[in-house]
């Protein structure tokens, strides 16, 4: 009888993360931190929102992540006339079988790129809510599971651009992280231009399998969280709820998301326990899109990033007590 796969160690997760980051950097140069955050989001089992101007490599990042673990990737261009069934799929009448047959939509992939998601109507955007939360699509009362691992990478134009719809807070809350890639530096852009002039973009090879990636995901929950760390996350959420510049603060879902991201960040660093630096490294990507400013704060030019920075600077960083970072139990020695 075959034995079930052993729980992945933090060292194995760190090796996998290093291999994926190095692989993706072949097509997205000079953006190591953005790649690491995106990978953290995927390993944590969440979804990613990239808010940036066109042409910064948002789609390239999503496709490279999928290629790195041999997964499938589908891109959906969101437009005002896009229908929900264009995303999820539709039931079609089969005359030969005299029955309806489900035709899967592009959401059935390991990585789904929802390009310019805020150009579609709120009704179409809402077609993603079920699959992002439950990894399944329900059509005509029948649930259809999507492949695992599953990640939605949505790109969003800045709100002040014409022809866009603001994403509602309930939908923003479904994204574990929001990041921005930004333009490359002059040196990196020169390197990109020179390289592309000489040869075509590289074809990425997989550094792991979907099964191996899913196995690494399952090990994240085993990363130890000390009571001091849990209290630190709760204090961050509570401080946002009392901040005068916010009318919508961090929810409990947001607190759980931050803790999950911190566990993943620790595992990718080769640790089996969370430290305060893991919280601070992921807090901006996890929390800023969940905060909504009060009207007076917007007039003053306050940003959600500055509010979160103020909260983190004001709160004391916890000092882990002895024994809060337990040693990894050794494997039993065979007799």
Greatest Cα pair distance, the chain, in angstroms, is: 71
**pLDDT tens-digit series, residues 59-78:** 788 888 888 888 788 889 99
Give the mean model confidence (pLDDT) for residues 12-39: 90
Percent helix, percent strand, percent coil in the chain, to nearest 5? 45, 15, 40
CA angle (107, 103, 217) in 5-degree steps: 35
Q: Alpha-carbon torsion 192, 21, 308, 126, what sign? A: positive
Q: Please classify residue 230 by burial: count the beta carbons closer than 10 Å to its beta carbon, then call 0-12 exposed, 13-18 middle and 19+ buried.
A: middle
**pLDDT tens-digit series, residues 140-160:** 888 889 988 888 988 887 766
Q: pLDDT above 70 covers what percent of the chain?
A: 90
Lowest mean pLDDT among 22-36, 184-198, 269-283: 184-198
> What integer pLDDT is reported at residue 326 of this predicted model?
59
pLDDT of 333 > 50? The answer is no
Lowest mean pLDDT among 52-61, 80-89, 235-244, 266-275: 52-61
pTM (2 d.p.): 0.85
pLDDT of 25 > 60? The answer is yes
Give the mean model confidence (pLDDT) for residues 34-49: 92
> What integer pLDDT is reported at residue 4 of this predicted model?
43
Give the mean model confidence (pLDDT) for residues 103-129: 87
Q: Reduce the secondary structure of 143-196 to three states and give it as a string.
A: EEECCCCCEEEEEECCCCCCCCCCCCHHHHCCCCEEECCCCCCHHHHHHHHHHH
CA atoms of 141 and 138, how far apart (whole Å): 6
pLDDT tier, 324 (very low <50, low <70, confident <90, very high otherwise):
low
pLDDT of 9 > 80? The answer is no
Higher model confidence: residue 252 or residue 323? 252
Higher model confidence: residue 310 or residue 327? 310
Query: What is the β-pairing status of strands 151-156 and 111-115?
Result: parallel
CB count in 10 Å sphere of residue 228:
16
Most confident of the following: 1-15, 104-118, 127-141, 223-237: 223-237
> What integer pLDDT is reported at residue 177 of this predicted model?
94
Higher model confidence: residue 1 or residue 210? 210
CA atoms of 21 and 46, how far apart (whole Å): 18
Q: Delineate the domains of the chain, giving CATH numbers in brackets.
A: 10-199+207-215 (3.40.50.300), 223-314 (1.10.8.80)
**pLDDT tens-digit series, residues 163-196:** 677 787 778 888 999 998 888 888 888 887 887 6
For 34, 62, 241, the CA distances from 42, given in Å and listed in that order, are 12, 10, 28
């Amino acid at each position: 009888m075959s034995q079930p796969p052993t729980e992945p160690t933090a060292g194995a997760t760190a090796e996998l993360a290093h291999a994926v980051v190095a692989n993706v950097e072949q097509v997205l140069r000079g953006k190591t931190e953005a790649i690491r955050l995106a990978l953290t989001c995927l390993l944590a089992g969440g979804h990613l929102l990239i808010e940036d101007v066109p042409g910064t490599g948002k789609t390239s990042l999503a496709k490279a992540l999928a290629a790195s673990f041999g997964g499938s990737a589908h891109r959906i261009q969101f437009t005002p006339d896009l229908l929900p069934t264009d995303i999820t799929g539709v039931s079609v009448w089969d005359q030969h079988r005299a029955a309806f047959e489900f035709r899967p939509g592009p959401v059935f992939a390991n990585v789904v790129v929802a390009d310019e998601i805020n150009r579609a109507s709120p009704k179409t955007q809402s077609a993603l809510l079920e699959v992002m939360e439950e990894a399944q699509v329900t059509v005509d009362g029948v649930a259809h599971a999507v492949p695992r691992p599953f990640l939605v990478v949505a790109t969003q134009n800045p709100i002040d651009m014409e022809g866009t719809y603001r994403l509602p807070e309930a939908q923003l809350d479904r994204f574990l992280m929001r990041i921005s890639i930004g333009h490359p530096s002059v040196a990196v852009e020169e390197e990109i231009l020179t390289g592309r002039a000489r040869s075509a973009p590289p074809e990425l090879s997989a550094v792991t399998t979907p099964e191996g990636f899913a196995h690494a995901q399952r090990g994240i929950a085993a990363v130890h969280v000390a009571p001091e760390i849990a209290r630190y996350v709760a204090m961050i959420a509570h401080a946002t709820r009392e901040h005068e510049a916010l009318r919508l603060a961090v929810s409990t879902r947001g607190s759980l998301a931050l803790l999950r991201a911190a566990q993943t960040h620790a595992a990718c660093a080769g640790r089996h326990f969370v430290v305060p630096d893991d919280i601070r490294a992921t807090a901006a990507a996890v929390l800023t899109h969940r905060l909504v400013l009060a009207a007076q704060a917007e007039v003053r030019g306050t940003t959600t990033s500055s509010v979160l920075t103020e909260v983190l600077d004001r709160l004391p960083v916890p000092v882990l007590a002895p024994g809060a970072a337990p040693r990894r139990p050794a494997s039993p020695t065979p007799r």
